[in-house]
Amino acid sequence: MDDILQEFLAESWENLGQLDSEIVELEKDPQNAELIASIFRTIHTIKGTCGFLGLSNLGAVAHSAENVLGKMRERMLEVSPGAISLVLEAIDRIKELLQGLEATGEEPKTDHSTLTLMLDELANLATAPPASTPQQSSPAPLVADETEENTDVTQVDEEPVSEQSPKDVAKSAESEEVVIAEAIPEVQAEPADLLAPAAVSEEAAVRSSKVSVADLSIRVNVNVVDSLMNLVGELVLTRNQLLQLARGDEESKYAAPITHLNRVTTDLQEGVMKTRMQPIGNAWNKLPRLVRDLSQVTNKHIELVMTGAETELDRTVLDAIKDPLTHMVRNSADHGIETADVRKAAGKSESGTIHLNAYHEGGHVIIEIQDDGAGISRERVLKKAISQGLIKETDAPHVTDSHVFSMIFQAGFSTAEQVSSISGRGVGMDVVRTQIEKIGGTVDLASKMGKGTTVRIKIPLTLAIVSALVLESGSQPFAIPQLGVVELVRLSAEDCKKIETIHDKKVFRLRDRLLPLVHLNEVLQLEEDTPEDDDLQDTNIVVVQVGEDQFGLIVSRIFDTEEIVVKPVGRLLKNIGLYQGTTILGDGRVVMILDVGGIFNQCGGSSAHSQSVAEETTASSDRDTISMLLFGVKDNVTMAVPLSLVARLEEFPLESIELNGDRKVVQYRDNLLPLLSIEGAGYGGGEPVDPQPVIVFSENNRSMGLMVNEIKDIIDEQLVIRMQSDRPGVLGTAIIGKNAIDVIDTQYYVTRSTPNWFEKVEDKKSFRVLIVDDSMFFRQLVTTALETEGYTVVARDSCISAVELLEKDSRFHAVITDLDLPMMDGFEFCEWLKSQESTQEMNVIALTSASSSTDQAKARDAGFDEFLVKFNSHELISCLDESFARSKYKTGVNA
Amino acid sequence: MSIAITDSGSGMESQLDYSSQYVSFRVDDQLLGMPVNMVQEVLTEQVISPTPLARAEIKGLLNLRGQIVTAVSLRKRLGLPDLEDDRSMNVVTRVGEESFSLLVDEVGDVINVSGRSMEPVPRTLDPHWRSVTIGVFQLDEGLFVILDVETILNFE
């Protein structure tokens, strides 16, 4: 069963349990407004979630009951025993439906129209405005709106329900068994027995499955599980420490207990990890439907086979791979599998197969997406790669298949000849790669023309405890996650001669492959180690993988691998970009966990930033020529910059250039213009020329000047970056007027001239979002969606507790709140936010299932910045992204 | 060895009036202080793992019973030169979700200032110092400058 559905069930049962007693109490005390409001909210939440999950039958009953309760709440309908009976009847039906849903994973299609009709009648009776409630403005349009919305839902969802084949029903019943069995291993046999008839007869299952999800599992706050995880982490560290102490002394009387402790700790660690584990099938269960729909749209016969759905991995990892997986399956169905005719012509079976497979392998989870389709044409990818300047034409015959296919993961790369509604827009595979790398995974692609394509994803089981290689550089220990390490190479003193240099850059020929080398201590600006013993005479190289690139880190010593607990990098160290975490080693020392991707970028590897800039430039100039400004620097070297980036050309007399600290500036248009000269390997600074020619660049009202030796020419040329550069300030080399000329990266100089001008790293983590919703289900849903996007999210279940939080800590950028909340509703909350000095700047977003125009107007009056209907994650995220960009801009200007 | 003073925050409701008590410490012979309920504990010299490429104020990280604490040199933060014989003591404080240790030359007594009123720092004080201090108490043994800890730990 879908985990979302499961949570919905658990939450609904919890609420409904409370509801029975509340309603009985209401019958005794019909005037208790708070009680009515609370009952209304429970039903309202169930209705809202039903709409979201497409449970039309359940939604209809809840909707009608909500209408009646709403009228009661507004004092337009008397709380009579008759009305209460009707509401109780509705609640019973809701329970029945939930039971059916729980037993089969499908909403029962029982007919409730008589009841809903009666409820609606009762509600409509009340619509005639009684004299006692003159403040009620216009309830009629509200009802109309909601009914409309409801019919919409019904229309949309009728189809999938009716097309559900009996086979699918059986399948979902099976998968439910798995879920329950996983949750409570001790009673494994019992629920399986109880639920087995579900496949045979829905009715029987409903009656026999007395043990519901709510009984078999307990709901534990994620925070509790997280803190347990932290404690286990501490225990693992202490265990490591003890093991280290005991290592030298095997005769010790502590040896036996320590061994035992070791074993128990390992078991405990596994047990606690298991509480966070979920079967990967949870991320897959939308795929059969997706493939079915796609095969209809594309007119192909596609079968989806899934194996290893029970393979478990950490919840956070699971959430992160959901979208990439969907994307890749979609790709396989759209690009991979051919139409039936084509397949027949090629001698294959008419229907194509997409095979999803997951399994564990050495602490990692491997997911394979395999199709038996047309495969990827090496030639086509190569052609495209050459036209984009990613591969040189002359190199083309020698490039390995895996290198060619890796191009598919580059941004802006799609070989689909036709942009279909499904894919082929050149976005996607790069996002897939980025997403997977973000959680420390890797992705490979292999393809055989005519036979099919296989994508292999390797991801860590969990992000909390990882196996890491401990090493030393500059007399300090560091850790590198084992996942990124390809191999270790040790060169003896005489072998070190094999390390060669190209233009100051060290490289090593590792089995006929050129491996760029980087001294870790240089990257970290640490002293070189002084070789004390023979050990240090050798050169230790850790070969690491970043995307499809490999490079070697030269370190002074390699210790052991150790299970380490990843702790977040502190606030003050976050912006360094070379560390992905910290940890405590067995001996109690704190060490930094290195981010190999960050190191690679730092030493001029194909940093994502410059690469995307290069690609943007190439993409936009595919056909058109653009004007290039050529200028000379020291030693008669010519460099170029796209003219469109240049604001002005100026000449300043040398004496007008002043030194401000160690920076050169010139007074220019009542302002100070910072001046920089061209730098980078081989160029040095410009020689003093009088008057000094300066190229002025402007961005966001700020300017900087680049001092050059002479302005040479402006020519129109197709700008294709032939070679990306790893030198700072150089975008790459382009052929301009038959000469190879370096094109400078203006961004680099602009950033350098005013370092805090804008933050280079777009760190959404610093953007804090507060979510207020009384439904735990929605809190989790929204939190997961936003955290996957990289935002920092804090959730509260009521406005009161949100206010308490904000009074202590107002460092939030955006607040997302439900409107219908107990004690203090969303409108009051928003007004409060907008009245406080510390919070009035925050972006306040209403996220609600009440979507009537009256509510919208009311929200606008209360000061909401946005009004969103529950729940479209894309809409919410794009709304936040916008406000994130705005806040970025603001801080950028203020800096 | 550690002198635990109070769990941060939990001592607020006790009978003792913590609001007028300040932990005193010295940096470059200046008597400085911070509210006692902000101090998690005071430690003698600790093993600090350096963090390459971090700002100069950050001395590194230390392991406080499994918790990672960022050590900030108060001397550097106040624009003072480092001590040659660096045996700094740690004043551990918690700001938000994170723990920090302020490295000081020497930790003194907890000073009770009840009955005295805090005066604003003199306007002539170096603007940098003014931005990280809240006020001054006049004590018999000298001036007692109270630090604004949150600002001190905010230099991103």
Burial of residue A634, with CB atoms counted within 10 A of its CB: 0-12 exposed, 13-18 middle, 19 or more buried: middle
Q: Give pLDDT, residue A470.
A: 92
B56 touches chain A (CB under 8 A): no
For residue A87, the tally of other CB atoms under 10 A from its CB is: 25
User: In this structure, which amino acid lies at residue A684?
Assistant: G
Per-residue confidence band for A679, with pLDDT thresholds at 50, 70 and 90: low
Higher pLDDT, A738 or A692: A692
With an 8 Å Cβ cutoff, are A238 and B66 in contact? yes
- Is the pLDDT reported for residue A895 higher than 70? no
Q: What is the pLDDT of residues A277-301, one digit of tens each?
A: 788 887 887 787 778 777 777 788 8
d(CA A55, CA A300): 30
CB A326 within 8 A of CB A445: no
Q: Give pLDDT, residue B91.
A: 94
B90 touches chain A (CB under 8 A): no
- This prediction has a pTM of 0.43
Average pLDDT, integer, range A297-326: 83
Task: Report CA dihedral (A533, A534, A539, A543) to the nearest 10 degrees.
Answer: -90
- Is the pLDDT reported for residue A217 higher than 90? no
d(CA A676, CA A692): 12
| B62 contacts on A by Cβ (under 8 Å) | 590
Q: What is the pLDDT of residues A90-142, one digit of tens each?
A: 888 888 888 888 888 778 877 888 888 888 888 787 655 444 434 433 344 43
Q: What is the pLDDT of residues A15-59, one digit of tens each?
A: 777 777 677 677 777 777 778 888 888 888 888 777 777 788 888
| B149 contacts on A by Cβ (under 8 Å) | none
Per-residue confidence band for A625, with pLDDT thresholds at 50, 70 and 90: low
For residue A325, the tally of other CB atoms under 10 A from its CB is: 24
- Tell me the residue length of chain A: 895
| CATH architecture under which domain A3-214 falls | Up-down Bundle (1.20)
With an 8 Å Cβ cutoff, are B70 and A572 in contact? yes
Q: Give pLDDT, residue A425.
A: 36
3-state SS class at A868: strand
Question: A761-891 in CATH: which number?
Answer: 3.40.50.2300
b/e for A375-395, b at 16 or more Cβ within 10 A? Answer: bbebeebbebbbebbbbeeee
d(CA A501, CA B123): 59
Average pLDDT, integer, range A192-207: 42
Which among A523, A524, A571 is the top mutation candidate for probing chain B, defined by the most B β-carbons within 10 Å of its own β-carbon?
A571
d(CA A497, CA A220): 59
- Nearest C-alpha in A relative to B58: A572
Per-residue confidence band for A145, with pLDDT thresholds at 50, 70 and 90: very low
Q: Which CATH class is domain A281-460?
A: alpha beta
Nearest by CB: B156 against A474, A476, A572: A572
Angle at A27 between CA A26 and CA A33, to 5 degrees: 30
Closest CA of chain A from B33, distance in Å: 23
3-state SS class at A613: helix
B155 touches chain A (CB under 8 A): yes
Q: Domain extents for chain A?
A: 3-214, 222-276, 281-460, 465-620, 625-753, 761-891
d(CA A629, CA A716): 9
With an 8 Å Cβ cutoff, are B66 and A237 in contact? yes
| B153 contacts on A by Cβ (under 8 Å) | 572
- What Å distances lie between residue A780 and A402, B4, B132, CA to CA? 40, 38, 39
Nearest by CB: B63 against A576, A588, A592: A588
Q: Give pLDDT, residue A2.
A: 66
Radius of gyration of chain B measured on its C-alpha atoms:
15
Nearest by CB: A573 against B47, B51, B153: B51
d(CA B34, CA B145): 9
| B8 contacts on A by Cβ (under 8 Å) | none
Average pLDDT, integer, range A861-881: 79
Q: Pairing relation of β-strands B58-64 and B67-73?
A: antiparallel
DSSP β-bridge partners for residue B3: B42
Q: Give pLDDT, residue B34.
A: 93
Domains A3-214 and A761-891 alike in fold: no
Count residue pairs from A and B with Cβ separation < 8 A.
63
Q: Give pLDDT, residue A417.
A: 47
Question: A465-620 in CATH: which number?
Answer: 2.40.50.180
With an 8 Å Cβ cutoff, are B66 and A575 in contact? no
With an 8 Å Cβ cutoff, are A572 and B55 in contact? yes
Q: Give pLDDT, residue B92.
A: 94
Whether a cis peptide bond, with omega within 30° of 0, leads into A884 is: no
Question: A625-753 in CATH: which number?
Answer: 2.40.50.180
Average pLDDT, integer, range A408-434: 58
Q: Give pLDDT, residue A377.
A: 79
3-state SS class at B106: strand
End-to-end, the C-alpha distance of chain A in Å comes to: 50
And the tokens for A568?
A: 């977040």
Lowest pLDDT segment from A67-71, A146-150, A495-499, A793-797 = A146-150
And the tokens for A649?
A: 């050309």
CB A42 within 8 A of CB A19: yes
Sequence-separated (6 or more) residues with CB below 8 Å from residue B123: B130
Residue B109 CA, chain-centre distance (Å), reads: 13
d(CA B99, CA A331): 47
- Is the pLDDT reported for residue A478 higher than 90? yes
Higher pLDDT, A144 or A463: A463
Q: What is the side-by-side strand order in the sheet with A539-546?
A: A485-491, A539-546, A549-555, A513-519, A505-510, A499-502
Average pLDDT, integer, range A194-213: 44
DSSP β-bridge partners for residue A816: A771, A845
Closest CA of chain B from A235, distance in Å: 9
For residue A494, the tally of other CB atoms under 10 A from its CB is: 8
With an 8 Å Cβ cutoff, are B53 and A238 in contact? no
- Is the pLDDT reported for residue A171 higher than 80? no
b/e for A687-715, b at 16 or more Cβ within 10 A? Answer: eeeeebbbbbbebeebbbbbbbbeeeeee
Q: Give pLDDT, residue A759.
A: 41
Q: Give pLDDT, residue A700.
A: 55
B53 touches chain A (CB under 8 A): yes
Sequence-separated (6 or more) residues with CB below 8 Å from residue A408: A376, A381, A415, A429, A445
Q: What is the pLDDT of residues A693-748, one digit of tens each?
A: 888 877 655 678 888 888 887 777 666 666 666 677 777 777 776 677 888 877 67
| A578 contacts on B by Cβ (under 8 Å) | 53
And the tokens for A348?
A: 């294959």
Task: Identify the residue whose tokens are 């061209």.
Answer: A678
| A582 contacts on B by Cβ (under 8 Å) | 61, 68
Q: Give pLDDT, residue B11.
A: 41
d(CA A320, CA A596): 20
Q: What is the pLDDT of residues A256-271, one digit of tens each?
A: 888 889 889 888 888 8
CB A860 within 8 A of CB A154: no
CB hemisphere CA count around A339 (13 angstroms): 6
Average pLDDT, integer, range A199-218: 51
Burial of residue A615, with CB atoms counted within 10 A of its CB: 0-12 exposed, 13-18 middle, 19 or more buried: buried
Q: Give pLDDT, residue B90.
A: 93
- What Å distances lie between residue A27 and A31, A86, A115, A275, A735, CA to CA? 9, 12, 20, 42, 85
CB A280 within 8 A of CB A308: yes
B151 touches chain A (CB under 8 A): no
With an 8 Å Cβ cutoff, are B156 and A476 in contact? no
Mean pLDDT of chain A: 74
With an 8 Å Cβ cutoff, are B49 and A589 in contact? yes
Q: What is the pLDDT of residues A220-238, one digit of tens each?
A: 777 888 788 878 877 887 8
Q: What is the pLDDT of residues A611-623, one digit of tens each?
A: 333 333 333 333 4
A385: region left, alpha or beta (phi > 0 left; psi from -120 to 50 alpha): alpha
With an 8 Å Cβ cutoff, are A476 and B49 in contact? yes
Task: Identify the residue whose tokens are 């019992």.
Answer: A190
Proportion of chain A above pLDDT 90, given as a percent: 2
d(CA A593, CA A422): 40
Higher pLDDT, A322 or A174: A322
Q: What is the pLDDT of residues A773-818, one digit of tens each?
A: 887 777 877 777 787 777 888 888 888 888 888 888 888 888 998 8
Q: At what angle are helices A315-331 and A287-298 packed, to 10 degrees?
A: 10
Q: What is the pLDDT of residues A370-396, one digit of tens each?
A: 988 888 878 888 887 787 777 777 777
- Is the pLDDT reported for residue A834 higher than 70? yes
d(CA B50, CA B61): 6
Higher pLDDT, A355 or A671: A355
d(CA B101, CA A246): 32
Find out if CATH 1.10.287 is the number for domain A222-276: yes
Nearest by CB: B52 against A234, A524, A590: A524
Range list of H helices, A201-286: 202-208, 213-216, 222-247, 255-275, 281-284
DSSP β-bridge partners for residue A306: A356
- Is the pLDDT reported for residue A769 higher than 50? yes
B9 touches chain A (CB under 8 A): no
Nearest by CB: A525 against B47, B52, B63: B52
Q: What is the pLDDT of residues B34-72, one digit of tens each?
A: 999 899 999 988 889 989 888 888 999 998 877 889 999
And the tokens for A364?
A: 């990692």
And the tokens for B100?
A: 């920090």
Average pLDDT, integer, range B140-147: 90
DSSP β-bridge partners for residue A541: A489, A554
